Structure 1
């Protein structure tokens, strides 16, 4: 009986501070070496509600193809847009206290809209 190995789970060269290529990640605090928080990896375009996020956190946009992430003050991608982080990957220290959702997307229409 032959046994074959599956793909290795080692970190890809395209990872940024442990954030997988194609994802947006929120870290435990303002230092990317603090590790990605539990549930802090986002893959799908559209709004993602946040809960119990206070103070400064490092946010990495490791998406591709000009994708961005916008931080919104309201839930479901509403409210005022505080920051837009463009892919490259770029990371920013962000105060998430006023932020209740993030939105991942592409193009030039940033979605934080009045509730």
Structure 2
């Protein structure tokens, strides 16, 4: 009987360990968002549609990140001015005019472009693995979420 009890204890412990690992690896800052966003890639932007799996750094944007490049500087020698990694909303400060964007996030995570400061009104996004060029003048925040 002791063998059976130890076996059950070991299986239970293993299952708990796996559950904890799933929670740790799948948890982020989490951010709820309304599903009312337009399903188009940055409609005001010129998209370059460079769809490729995020396998490494692209234009200086590390895998898992969404990157913004300085105003009117193209890819700026592969040196982004702003990089974002964690899910959530980020206010933009002094960002005007045309900027390149590269979304090097994984798992299909979109990079939302928002006109308000709180990530509630986000009419455009840049799909994972793509780039865009857009006017940041009407934008006041950007938002990273796990998926559409």
* TM tier, smaller: 0.7 to 0.9
The number of aligned residues is 92
Q: Max radius of gyration: which structure?
A: 2
* Between structures 1 and 2, the one with greater strand share: 1
Instruction: Write the deviation string for residues 26-60 of structure 1: whole angstroms up to 9, x where unpaired.
Output: 001341135311xx010010101101000000011
**CA distance in 2 between partners of 1:28 and 1:36 (Å):** 7
Residues 48-87 of structure 1 mapped to structure 2, 5 A cutoff: 48-79=90-121, 81-87=122-128
2:76 is aligned with 1:36: no
- Cα distance in 1 for partners of 2:139, 2:120 equals 10
TM-score (norm 2): 0.58
After TM superposition, the runs of 4+ consecutive aligned structure 1 residues lying more than 4 A away are: none
Structure 2 partner of 1:45: 87
Structure 2, gaps ≥5 residues long: 1-54
Q: Which of the pair is proportionally richer in helix?
A: 2
Extract unaligned runs of 5+ from structure 1: 1-12, 109-115
Aligned partners of 2:123, 2:145: CA distance in 1, in Å?
15
Match in the other structure for 2:146: 106
